[in-house]
């Protein structure tokens, strides 16, 4: 039984590795760090004769969600006071995530809304929720499915900046895009 | 990561500062400025539990609390607790009981002219005897020093661990007999303490002693709410990386997630019969009010439909209506809706930010947070007159809730960047502060009076 399981797992692993990057990735492949997608993306142009492959820098994985050079690694949308309007500067990032979800229907993620510390904790929870909902709505318009995105709020409970001034508050009025293995 | 329940009986809150305003005609801001200076003096000379009573105005009842016979040997002496309770309320002037010979424990031992000479209107006397089953027989009398008659007399039987609670009950009797209002010294409070990355939900006596941790977690805890029988707490915990409403039994420590739907689940409020909770759910889009069963059974029933934020529900004491916060008119304001359904009616009109409504237990009005010029303060509004009174000027006040006698409002504020609990009398004249030993205290709620 054990041996059989190992065989199945090995087969599955090889199958995953042999998948081509043009093929739509399934959920497992997306979360596979340092797998097929990585080596494909980072291979230098082909030359004749011997080929060299640079060492992968440590910490950089093949997951586009984690690749600092990829817009998908950007995860925070910031808002004006009392506003849930997604500003122009964040639209490319939100639409990239929407496209990613569209291309990876098996992926589910969470948009976490936040608010600054002023006023009622419960009302701030609702304000954060509204920001998360605004991001989700935009993602849906750009191809994500509703079931793929859960919106929740931390209100003022998880500030990114702990100061008590407008600079800190501006950092805390945000929505974070969070994937399961983040 | 997983929250656990445990007990830490050693932890307590300390009452550090008390102010009492005697002159009714003074306006609140002046009083606060005056007492800021006073706070400093009190703080500087504060050694243990020090209660500063100012003046001797008409609103303070002078009462002497004579040490009970044989209380010296007790693990917990009774009369110091009684005197501290009464002094903290701001409605009593504690008359020095020392130096009487003999020390009176029975009515016939009272030399009334001597007590009158000290200014006492009432004298409390009593005695403790150990019973054969190892408990204590505690009997006390409240004597009218003017009429030279007995106002009240009671006997309690208590174990050693019940001595402090018994003292609070005695203070409740004295308070009730001399002011005509229900005493709340034998009640409890709950609040959240944040220390470093840890969040702890505490339950303590109303005077801050005997604090126990009933839940601790690495993720935030907010909005604790007492069940009407005082045996359960509903609260919001983020331990699953999202807000979920739990109900926890204080007797067994067991708990259940009663609202864990897709999206956010928050703002639990008990119905007066203890069978249902109003909660804010986002599962159908937006923050909207729903009714759920307190045991988590069945499906949520939507209370009303709006495109705005509707949250912070609070049942009226008769269970017929709900106050809530909504921004359907632009900024957040407080509205009322019949529980049976119907149109929401706006009830706050002054200012652009009114939130966190909580009914007074007598049903006559509600307390809430009002923002004025960027400052958040505790206010009360009377249903009949619609008159609003702002009671504090702290600036960052949050989460007000009434004591069960409708006379005191407990709320969270900040002093020196640290979260503390404060209380203000519902007429704004008496203030007190409760500071946790360590960490930030926040999200307080006062328990109901429970039949004991």
Q: Report DSSP state, residue B83.
A: H
Chain B residues with CB-CB distance to A under 8 A? 220, 222-223, 238, 241-243, 262-264, 266-267, 280, 282, 285-287, 309, 311-312, 325, 332, 353, 355-356, 369, 371, 376, 396, 398-399, 417, 443
CB contact under 8 A, B220 and A157: yes
- Pair (B118, B255) in one structural domain: no
pLDDT given at position A165: 92
For A138-158, write each residue's pLDDT tens digit: 999 999 999 999 999 999 999
Distance, CA of B286 to CA of B310 (rounded, Å) = 8
- Pair (B376, B411) in one structural domain: yes
> Which of the pair, A137 or B436, is modelled with greater confidence?
A137
pLDDT given at position A117: 93
Residue B107, φ and ψ in degrees, nearest 5: -55, -40
ipTM: 0.86
Q: Is residue A29 part of a domain?
A: no
Could you give the number of structural domains in chain B?
2
Q: Is residue A131 part of a domain?
A: yes
Nearest to B399, CA basis, from B414, B416, B381:
B414
Q: Is residue B7 part of a domain?
A: no
Token duo for residue B437: 């030993």
Token duo for residue B289: 């009010």
Across B22-26, B77-81, B341-345, least confident range: B22-26
Mean pLDDT of B123-130: 97
Q: Which domain holds residue B215?
A: 188-446
- Pair (B344, B231) in one structural domain: yes
| Percentage, residues of chain B above pLDDT 90 | 77
Confidence bin at B450 (pLDDT 50/70/90): confident
pLDDT given at position A113: 98
Nearest to B13, CA basis, from B205, B184, B187:
B205
Q: Is residue B8 part of a domain?
A: no
For B347-363, write each residue's pLDDT tens digit: 999 999 999 999 999 99
B361 vs B366, B403, B444, CA distance in Å?
Answer: 9, 8, 16
Across A167-176, B21-30, B153-162, B264-273, least confident range: B21-30
Question: Of B126, B147, B179, which residue is a domain's last?
Answer: B179
Question: Distance from A37 to chain B by nearest Cα, in Å?
Answer: 30
Q: Is residue A56 part of a domain?
A: no
pLDDT given at position A48: 58
Three-state secondary-structure class, residue A6: helix
> Which of the pair, B437 or B88, is modelled with greater confidence?
B88
Q: Is residue A124 part of a domain?
A: yes
pLDDT at residue B48 greater than cutoff 50: no
**Averaged confidence pLDDT in chain B:** 87
Nearest to A61, CA basis, from A79, A78, A82, A37:
A37
Nearest to B291, CA basis, from B282, B281, B303:
B303
Question: Of B179, B198, B224, which residue is a domain's last?
Answer: B179
pLDDT at residue A2 greater than cutoff 90: no
pLDDT at residue B420 greater than cutoff 50: yes
Nearest to A133, CA basis, from B7, B17, B440, B264:
B264
For A93-104, write each residue's pLDDT tens digit: 999 999 999 999
- Pair (B407, B372) in one structural domain: yes
Mean pLDDT of B305-323: 97
Residues of B in contact with A168 (CB under 8 A): none
* Cβ-Cβ contacts under 8 Å for B258 (sequence gap 6 or more): B234, B245, B246, B247, B268, B277, B292, B293, B294, B295, B296
| Minimal Cβ distance to A125: which of B243, B356, B443 | B243
- Which CATH number characterizes residue B135's domain? 3.40.50.10070
Token duo for residue A39: 């080596």
Question: Distance from B326 to chain A by nearest Cα, in Å?
Answer: 9
Distance, CA of A36 to CA of B234 (rounded, Å) = 48
CB contact under 8 A, A121 and B287: no
Residues of A in contact with B309 (CB under 8 A): 123, 126-127, 130
> Which of the pair, B397 or A40, is modelled with greater confidence?
B397
Confidence bin at B342 (pLDDT 50/70/90): confident
* Number of neighbouring beta carbons within 10 Å of residue B61: 16
- Pair (B146, B96) in one structural domain: yes
Residues of A in contact with B440 (CB under 8 A): none
| Minimal Cβ distance to A152: which of B263, B285, B286 | B263
Q: Is residue B57 part of a domain?
A: yes
Three-state secondary-structure class, residue A121: helix
- Pair (B323, B288) in one structural domain: yes
Q: Which domain holds residue A153?
A: 73-178
Q: Is residue B15 part of a domain?
A: no
pLDDT given at position A94: 97
- Pair (B173, B194) in one structural domain: no
pLDDT at residue B148 greater than cutoff 80: yes
Mean pLDDT of B293-313: 96
pLDDT given at position A182: 84
pLDDT given at position B17: 32
Cβ-count burial of B103 within 10 angstroms (0-12 exposed, 13-18 middle, 19+ buried)? middle
Mean pLDDT of B121-150: 95
pLDDT given at position A52: 74
* Number of neighbouring beta carbons within 10 Å of residue B439: 16
Question: Distance from B199 to chain A by nearest Cα, in Å?
Answer: 11
- Pair (B91, B168) in one structural domain: yes
- Pair (B232, B90) in one structural domain: no
Residues of A in contact with B417 (CB under 8 A): 164
Three-state secondary-structure class, residue A48: coil
- Which CATH number characterizes residue B244's domain? 2.120.10.30
Cα torsion A56, A61, A63, A65: sign:
negative
- Pair (B352, B268) in one structural domain: yes
Burial of B185-202, coded b for 16+ CB within 10 Å and e otherwise, reads: bbbbbbbbbbeeeebbbb
* Number of neighbouring beta carbons within 10 Å of residue B37: 9
Chain A residues with CB-CB distance to B under 8 A? 110, 118-123, 125-127, 129-130, 133, 150-155, 157-158, 164
Burial of A31-64, coded b for 16+ CB within 10 Å and e otherwise, reads: bbeebbbbeeeeeeeeeeeeeeeeeeeeeebbbb
Nearest to A148, CA basis, from A165, A159, A135:
A135
Q: Is residue B230 part of a domain?
A: yes
Q: Is residue A55 part of a domain?
A: no
B245, B282, B396, best to mutate vs chain A, most A CBs in 10 Å: B282
Q: Is residue A120 part of a domain?
A: yes
| Minimal Cβ distance to B263: which of A122, A151, A158 | A151
pTM of the model: 0.81
Burial of B268-286, coded b for 16+ CB within 10 Å and e otherwise, reads: bbbbbebebbbbbbbeeeb
Mean pLDDT of B9-20: 38
Mean pLDDT of B107-125: 96
Distance of CA A101 to the CA centre of its chain: 9
Q: Is residue A22 part of a domain?
A: no
- Which CATH number characterizes residue A101's domain? 3.30.1330.60
Residues of B in contact with A151 (CB under 8 A): 263-264, 282
Q: Is residue B340 part of a domain?
A: yes
Nearest to A112, CA basis, from A173, A153, A75, A69:
A153
Could you give the number of structural domains in chain A?
1
pLDDT given at position B327: 97
Distance, CA of B216 to CA of B236 (rounded, Å) = 13
Q: Is residue A159 part of a domain?
A: yes
Question: Distance from A137 to chain B by nearest Cα, in Å?
Answer: 11
- Pair (B234, B133) in one structural domain: no
Question: Distance from A110 to chain B by nearest Cα, in Å?
Answer: 9
Distance, CA of A160 to CA of B267 (rounded, Å) = 23
A126, A159, A162, best to mutate vs chain B, most B CBs in 10 Å: A126
pLDDT given at position B298: 94
pLDDT given at position B51: 27
Q: Is residue B70 part of a domain?
A: yes
* Number of neighbouring beta carbons within 10 Å of residue B359: 24
- Pair (B73, B218) in one structural domain: no
Nearest to B334, CA basis, from B319, B305, B312, B365:
B312
pLDDT given at position B19: 35
For A30-87, write each residue's pLDDT tens digit: 333 333 333 444 444 454 567 677 666 555 457 888 888 899 999 999 999 989 999 9
Nearest to B267, CA basis, from A129, A118, A106:
A129
The Cα angle at residue B175 between residues B232 and B125, in degrees rounded to 5: 115
* Number of neighbouring beta carbons within 10 Å of residue B440: 16
Three-state secondary-structure class, residue B430: strand
């Amino acid at each position: 039984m054990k041996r059989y399981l190992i065989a199945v797992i090995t087969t599955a692993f090889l199958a995953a590795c042999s998948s081509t990057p043009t093929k739509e990735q399934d959920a497992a492949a997306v979360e596979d760090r340092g797998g097929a997608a990585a080596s494909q993306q980072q291979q230098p142009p082909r030359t004749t004769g011997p080929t060299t492959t640079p060492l992968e820098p440590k910490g950089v994985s093949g997951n586009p969600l984690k690749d600092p050079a990829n817009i998908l690694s950007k995860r925070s949308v910031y808002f004006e006071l009392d506003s849930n309007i997604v500003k122009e500067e964040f639209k490319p990032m939100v639409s990239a995530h929407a496209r990613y979800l569209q291309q990876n229907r098996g992926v589910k993620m969470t948009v976490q809304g936040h608010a600054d510390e002023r006023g009622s904790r419960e009302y701030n929870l609702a304000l954060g929720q509204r920001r998360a909902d605004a991001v989700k709505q935009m993602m849906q318009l750009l191809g994500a499915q509703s079931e793929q995105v859960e919106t929740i709020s931390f209100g003022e409970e998880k500030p990114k900046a702990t100061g008590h001034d407008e600079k800190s508050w501006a950092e805390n009025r945000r929505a974070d895009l969070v994937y399961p293995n983040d | 990561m997983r929250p656990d329940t445990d007990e830490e009986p050693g932890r307590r809150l300390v009452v550090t500062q008390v102010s009492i305003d005697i002159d009714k005609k003074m306006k609140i801001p002046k009083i606060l400025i005056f007492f800021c200076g006073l706070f400093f003096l009190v703080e500087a000379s504060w050694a243990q539990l020090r209660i500063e009573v100012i003046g001797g105005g008409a609103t303070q009842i002078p009462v002497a609390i004579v040490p009970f016979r044989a209380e010296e040997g007790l693990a917990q002496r009774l009369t110091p607790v009684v005197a501290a309770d009464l002094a903290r309320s701001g409605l009593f002037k504690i008359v020095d009981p020392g130096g009487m010979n003999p020390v009176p424990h029975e009515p016939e031992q009272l030399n009334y002219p001597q007590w009158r000479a000290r200014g006492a209107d009432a004298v409390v006397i009593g005695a403790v005897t150990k019973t054969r089953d190892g408990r204590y027989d505690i009997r006390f009398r409240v004597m009218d020093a003017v009429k030279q008659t007995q106002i009240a007399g009671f006997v309690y039987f208590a174990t050693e661990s019940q001595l402090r609670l018994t003292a609070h009950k005695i203070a409740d009797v004295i308070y009730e007999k001399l002011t005509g209002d229900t005493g709340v010294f034998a009640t409890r409070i709950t609040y959240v303490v944040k220390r470093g990355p840890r969040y702890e939900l505490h339950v303590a006596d109303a005077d801050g002693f005997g604090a126990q941790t009933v839940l601790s977690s690495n993720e935030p805890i907010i909005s604790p709410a007492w069940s009407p029988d005082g045996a359960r707490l509903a609260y919001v915990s983020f331990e699953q990386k999202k807000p979920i409403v739990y109900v926890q039994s204080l007797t067994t420590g067991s708990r259940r997630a009663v609202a864990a739907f897709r999206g956010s689940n928050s703002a639990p409020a008990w119905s007066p019969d203890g069978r249902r909770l109003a909660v804010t759910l986002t599962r159908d889009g937006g923050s909207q009010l729903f009714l759920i069963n307190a045991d988590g059974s069945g499906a949520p029933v939507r209370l009303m439909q709006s495109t705005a934020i509707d949250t912070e529900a609070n049942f009226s004491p008769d269970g017929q209506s709900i106050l809530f916060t909504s921004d359907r008119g632009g900024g957040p304001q407080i509205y009322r809706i019949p529980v049976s359904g119907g149109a929401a009616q706006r009830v706050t009109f002054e200012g652009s930010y009114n939130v966190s409504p909580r009914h007074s237990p007598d049903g006559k009005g509600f307390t809430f947070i009002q923002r004025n010029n960027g400052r958040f303060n505790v206010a009360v509004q009377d249903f009949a007159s619609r008159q609003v009174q702002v009671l504090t000027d702290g600036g960052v006040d949050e989460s007000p809730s009434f004591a069960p006698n409708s006379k005191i409002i407990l709320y969270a504020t900040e002093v020196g960047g640290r979260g503390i609990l404060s209380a203000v009398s519902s007429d704004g004249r008496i203030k007190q502060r409760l500071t946790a030993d360590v960490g930030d205290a926040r999200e307080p709620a006062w328990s109901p009076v429970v039949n004991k």
